[in-house]
Structure 1
């Protein structure tokens, strides 16, 4: 009976109370009766009370009470796994539904987009008169059957190896493109051939989510309705290959002078590789980096073909890179027209990139080549014709390649800029665009030589630099002009040779500029700090990317173009406010209106520094290396001129960059072999100058071209407004009376005091000393003494030749 009652009691009370510790159980064993003892009942009641308390607390929290854990409870109820899963599924249903609606409402367009039906670009002079129309569109569609199967495979291997098996889209790539567009990261790769064809032929190049989604839908539909052969044919016929060529037939002619059905596998692989970056990968115009990259891309295409069993490994290993033919200008681009059109296109492409209209150089180039643009240039027709005439009369009419092979190697380039507006008012790119494709006005592969010296002086004045003796540098600071004198204060040894190895002794900075003394400016550059010199060069408009800050740069050994140098000197002319030469005044098509950036920027060097350099450069014209061609020119009529000559090592380039208050013009002559691959060569002996001594110096033909052009178009005499008390333009001078008639002596010859003691035409330093007296032995850099030292070369000056172009010996960045 006891056990039965015990079971009944347990059924009524749930379960027995937990036993206490062993000692308590021993001291008070549980009685085997029908009722529980008091301690058991109390423990159960206490447990029930605790549970009830917690439940009450939860109820209180659920009603907004402040019980502990109330906030966490709400979060747990809000983000339960059931609700999160339900929300995700709902979002998926919404996206799928939206895509179905988009799929149902987006048909394959019946016609091509405006870009696929290309038009001509129209180019106008600044006054609105027609300069050029780029002619008939360079496109000719061909059937896929006319393209060798291996060449077809090359395009698939380059862009979309899964093309023959996919559904026409790359969902991962498209999702990445949409995400990057939303996040503002621009265009991304990863599209299939089908998607690229849809974009090129049916849609536009704009980077929007809507366009990308339409591209996805149309690609899916097109892949279901059309064959792979139809899509591939459309792709290779609508793609842009550079050189104005749309479609594989035009590209085959532009790069290899063959029809598409005659393309070899290596040639086809190159054209397929081009599509990634047409301009950068064009072999004839590519940089060393561009050539390396396109070769890598070409190898990538061929290796993919081998991997897909479209090309035998043995055949692939035997293939050589197919170097393309030289570009062939389009009809109607003869003379200077092609140079202006090409330069305008390049500037427009940069503007499209800068303003975010295009997301890559490839896209910008395709947009310009697509046509439909009305482009107005800043070029003034009168000045353009005058510049062409000056080059012809002063130089090209004297070249005769049949008599002198070196004459075939002479190339001229020039750019003229309004310093107040930054407008490029004239440009000379070469003898003829259809004969010489490279624009000599914009090429940057030749040294500017001594036309870089004003940049060094500008850096010294703007930075408040000091000599090795801690004396502040001015135009009257005296330096040792000894040829081959090692610079002091540089970790890199450098001892430049002066022109003809002439020793000038102690000379002021002004005289060193007049005579273009290399040893002085090498030391001046070290005193300033070559890193600061290169920064100033960059601020003024030169491209100093990847240049090393070494003393040798003081000789102008970097590359530069007439366009760049015109911008540098225009900034000096504009009192230190940055001038970025602008060729385009306006450009617009049916979709975009491009407003060029303001060519006039902020103050990059102080006005006093810029004006002082201008003042010094008037001495180069009046008392230095440009006397014959500019100072004594009968057309000058009192016009104030500041400028600098330059002649590079081995006479491979010769420059004259100079300006009046209203016009800046840079003229460069370049020795380029007429035979491929067109290496740089010397110009010595051109036009019949005495071989071995007949250098084409900056003070010769370049200065003559400059003077004929500038004095011909600038009828109004103007004066510089200079805020400086230094330089030849303001410094008191002791000069000889000029002769009534122009001297037959050459402009290149440094004017020095002759051994007989006759006075020279060189301006002397101020009679009032500005700093301390130099020591008996010239130091690295000294200041003027109370009585200026004689500036006669210690080894004797070279004799004046009869021909105004002649010099003697070889020079190094000298003039």
Structure 2
């Protein structure tokens, strides 16, 4: 082709060719035409996606991510632990260490890592995070995978370290969101720098969920093997560690065959990893057998008497915390409730059972609210204390904590009635008080026992009647205590001075705040609880050293143990005063209002007993508080309207004759006391008394127990006939015929009473009809 033709061809193609360009071939011309058509598009892509731009964008994104993470790291702080993770159950134990109750919204009891055997600690590391002791607290690869899967909505993802799982459990929530995963990453890095590996591991095993409602290794150890975490074996620890992957699926008690195979496989995996990490020898691993867990057991609740025991334990622990840490009552209560305490009580499992059995046999089995509405108003309470240690070894708070929340053992809204009389005598002895005519007051002092006699020396007029308005004439203090003569102790209280009486009562353990120092208090008209009266009589029994009964044996959390105050305090009254009261109170049992239920009980076996009955105004309460050298127990019965919760009479309950059928201290309360005490007291013992006064050292002729004990009071339904009473012409007894002198004699004497009304003696009445009724 010539130059002219080439020029014409270029012109036809719409382009001028550069000088010297060769003429294209047909094929070349076609390719160039195609290139001309695609050229602009390729140039744009090349301009937009150059290697430099791609690398720049990549590094820019990396810088953005790093910068964002730095900002996130600076902004996100390690938060306070969430409430659910910190919530724990309190565990309550009997004195022998067996579990009484576990209480809390979350079944968790945090334990210090030192209480978990080291090989058991290693089972969790082998199961979840073999690099735990060397890593920085996070698994970047696993976390990235988790973030992507979460963002794509693929559900829960594993691969987290132990630190991350701890952070999720303790600081965050279980939500599957990108923001939560990012927070988990940042907090885990910070926690790993701020906490030791042991603290992180402890947090992890204490916050993880193991199934069966158990949070934390201690609750899990109890739930699956019924041992404390400190007693777990490597095999058992490996199973608990395996559970964390799938608690419900791997629970042996409910697992399918497939679930059991998977659980065993996981268990083997844990142990094999331990061998790999040199935490377990191959030979020991080879000899290990799968530790089949025990069947599930329902958590111990607060039914029956448990709630009353737990309530008193909480109250006494809170009182200790208030005193030691300067807390308010509400702050102390909050520090106890659901805070992971392990509280061991002084309650003896066997004595507690004995007390509950006695109440049922002697009282509640005879109550039938369907037949008699008054039976539904009978409430019983009792507290039993060791006088030498102050330990509360048994307590009865009511028929059931879920049915009657008020504990009858600690309620102080009913009158203690004549159980207060020994306090008046103790005050007289302690204060070396004298009668109005200047004679020292002791067990042999003569008083005028005329019913309704106005007391002398009082600015406030007071003329209390005796039970059934009986007149006793001149009688000794010992006889007045035996017969619970109101007029005598009203005069004695004025002779001592009621301010001094109440002061001694306070020292002995009664709450006298706000109680007026008036003569009417001699009838026990202030409120008191069985716990308070047990404290008073335990102090008598302990020779005048104050006893503040305690239900707490120990109280500890994972990080501390509370130092408990000693229940035994100072000498608040002299030993002679206390021992004289004890000596006098043996006469109440051997020759007074408690002789039928206690003295003549066939189970007594010669046991020496001191005690006092009490029946309040209108028979709204009835008491017997008694003791042996080693055991003090106060039993109270209270009339409470079942619906209105107001105080009502006990008369007619259990079928006793309405109107005259009083439930008195020498009846059911003394019967409960006797059955319980003679079963729980152990061997027979005698009082070691430092006194020359009272029935224990100067018994009256009638104080000697009968050679052949009579049976325990009958439990048969009473007849509809009213109890027989004698007219006011009693036949003199040997004691009554002793000559009456105007000065005390070595043996307590009394003149023949001249009753102005019929007189009954509780000690001779199988129904326990008392010869006292205070505060009428």
The answer, yes or no, to whether TM exceeds 0.5 is: yes
Match of 2:766 among 782, 804, 807: 804
Aligned partner of 2:754 in structure 1 is: 793
Q: Which residue does the alignment assign to 1:308?
A: none
Cα deviation, 1:445-464, whole Å, max 9, x if unaligned, reads 11100000000000000100
- Structure 2 vs 1, CA of residues 382 and 752 (structure 1 numbering), >3 Å: closer, same or farther? farther
1:429 aligns with 2:397: yes
The aligned counterpart of 1:728 is 695
State the match for 1:717 in structure 2.
684
Q: Secondary structure at the match of 2:353?
A: helix
User: 1:592 deviation in Å?
Assistant: 3.0
8 Å contact from structure 1 (residues 690, 806) kept in 2: no
Aligned residues: 508
1:472 aligns with 2:433: no
Tell me the residue number matched to 2:525.
Answer: 557
Aligned to 2:271: none
Distance in 2 between residues matched to 1:737 and 1:595, nearest whole Å: 47
Q: 1:618 aligns with which of 562, 583, 586?
A: 586
Shift in Å, 1:787: 11
1:283-316 deviation digits (Å, cap 9, x = unpaired): xxxxxxxxxxxxxxxxxxxxxxxxxxxxxxxxxx
**1:596-607 counterparts in 2 under 5 A?**
596-607=564-575
Residue 656 and residue 752 in structure 1: after superposition, are their counterparts in 2 closer, same or farther (change >3 A)? farther
Instruction: Check the 8 A contact 2:94/2:346 in 1, yes or no.
Output: yes
| Shift, 1:790, TM fit | 1.7
Which has the greater radius of gyration?
2
SS in 1 for 2:475: strand
1:718/1:753 CA distance change after superposition, 3 Å: farther
Cα distance in 1 for partners of 2:681, 2:771 equals 36
Question: Counterparts of 2:672 and 2:712 in 1: how far apart (Å)?
Answer: 18
Report if the CA contact (8 A) 1:644-1:656 is conserved.
yes
The answer to whether residue 596 in structure 2 is matched with residue 632 in structure 1 is: no
Which residue matches 2:467?
Answer: 499
- 1:752–1:793: 8 Å Cα contact kept in structure 2? no
Please list the CA deviations of residues 346-381 of structure 1 after superposition, one character each: whole Å capped at 9, or x if unmatched: 11100111111x521111111111321000000000
How far is the alpha carbon of 1:742 from its aligned partner?
4.7
Q: State whether residues 745 and 800 of structure 1, in contact with CA within 8 Å, keep that contact through their aligned partners in structure 2.
A: no
Q: Is the 8 A contact 2:348 2:393 kept in 1?
A: yes
Aligned equivalents of 2:313, 2:552: Cα separation in 1: 6
CA distance in 1, matches of 2:444, 2:517: 26
Q: 5+ residue gaps in structure 2?
A: 1-72, 109-169, 172-298, 715-722
Instruction: Tell me what 2:650 maps to.
Output: 683
Cα drift, residue 649 of structure 1 = 0.2
**Match of residue 349 from structure 1:** 318
User: Does 1:445 pair with 2:399?
Assistant: no
Contact 1:646–1:813 (8 Å) recurs in 2: no
* CA pair 634-745 structure 1, distance change in 2 beyond 3 A: closer
1:608 equivalent to 2:576? Answer yes
Mapped to 2, the partners of 1:524 and 1:344 lie a distance apart of: 38
Q: 2:386 — aligned with what?
A: 418
Aligned counterpart, 1:378: 346
Tell me if the contact between 2:423 and 2:504 (Cα under 8 Å) persists in the aligned partners.
yes
Question: How far off its partner does 1:732 sit?
Answer: 4.9
* Contact in 1 for aligned 2:626/2:634 (Cα 8 Å): yes
Task: Say whether the 8 Å CA contact 2:596–2:765 is kept in structure 1.
Answer: no
Residue deviations 1:568-612 (CA, integer Å, cap 9, x gap): 100000000000001001101123311210110110000000000
The within-5 A match list for 1:710-789 is 710-735=677-702, 739-742=706-709, 755=729, 757-759=731-733, 774=742
The separation in 1 between residues aligned to 2:576 and 2:727, in whole angstroms, is: 31
Question: Relative to 1, partners in 2 of residues 1:588 and 1:404: Cα closer, same or farther, differing over 3 Å?
Answer: same
Residue 456 of structure 1 is matched in structure 2 by: 424
In 1: Cα distance, 2:708 partner to 2:456 partner? 44
Change in 2 beyond 3 A, CA 1:753/1:684: closer
SS in 1 for 2:389: coil
Distance 1:720 1:635, change over 3 A: same
Given that residues 479 and 748 in structure 2 are in contact (C-alpha distance below 8 angstroms), is that contact kept between their aligned partners in structure 1?
no
Distance 1:789 1:695, change over 3 A: closer
1: CA distance, partners of 2:548 / 2:699? 35
CA contact (8 A) 1:345 1:368 kept: yes
TM-score by length of 1: 0.59
SS at match of 1:735: helix
Task: Provide the aligned C-alpha RMSD in A.
Answer: 3.2
**Counterpart for residue 105 of structure 2:** 136
* 1:119 equivalent in alignment to 2:104: no
Q: Does the CA contact (< 8 Å) of 1:645 and 1:698 recur in 2?
A: yes
Matches of 1:434 and 1:492 in 2, distance apart?
Answer: 45
> Could you tell me which residue of structure 2 aligns to residue 399 of structure 1?
367
**2:630 pairs with 634, 645, 662, which one?**
662
Distance 1:760 1:750 in 2: 23
Cα distance between partner residues in 2 of 1:393 and 1:527: 43
> Which residue matches 2:194?
none
Instruction: Tell me by how many angstroms 1:713 deviates.
Output: 1.4
The gaps in structure 1 that reach 5 residues or longer are 1-103, 140-200, 203-329, 775-781
Distance 1:790 1:560 in 2: 34
Residue deviations 1:661-681 (CA, integer Å, cap 9, x gap): 0000000000000013x1000
Query: Which runs of structure 2 are paired with 1:472-621 in the superposition (5 Å)?
Result: 472-621=440-589
**CA 785–631 in structure 1, closer or farther in 2 if over 3 Å, else same:** closer
| Structure 1 residues 753 and 641: alpha-carbon distance in aligned structure 2, compared to 1, 3 A threshold | farther
Change beyond 3 A, Cα 1:760–1:450: farther
Contact 1:476 1:509 in 2 (8 A): yes
Secondary structure of residue in 2 paired with 1:594: coil
1:649 is matched with which residue?
A: 617
d(CA) in 1 for partners of 2:748, 2:328? 63
Structure 1 Cα separation of the partners of residues 725 and 631 of structure 2:
27
Distance in 1, matches of 2:562 and 2:75, equals 31
Partner of 2:605, secondary structure, is coil
Offset at residue 532 of structure 1 (A): 0.2
Q: Deviations over 1:395-439 (max 9, x none)?
A: 000000000000000000000000000000000000111111111
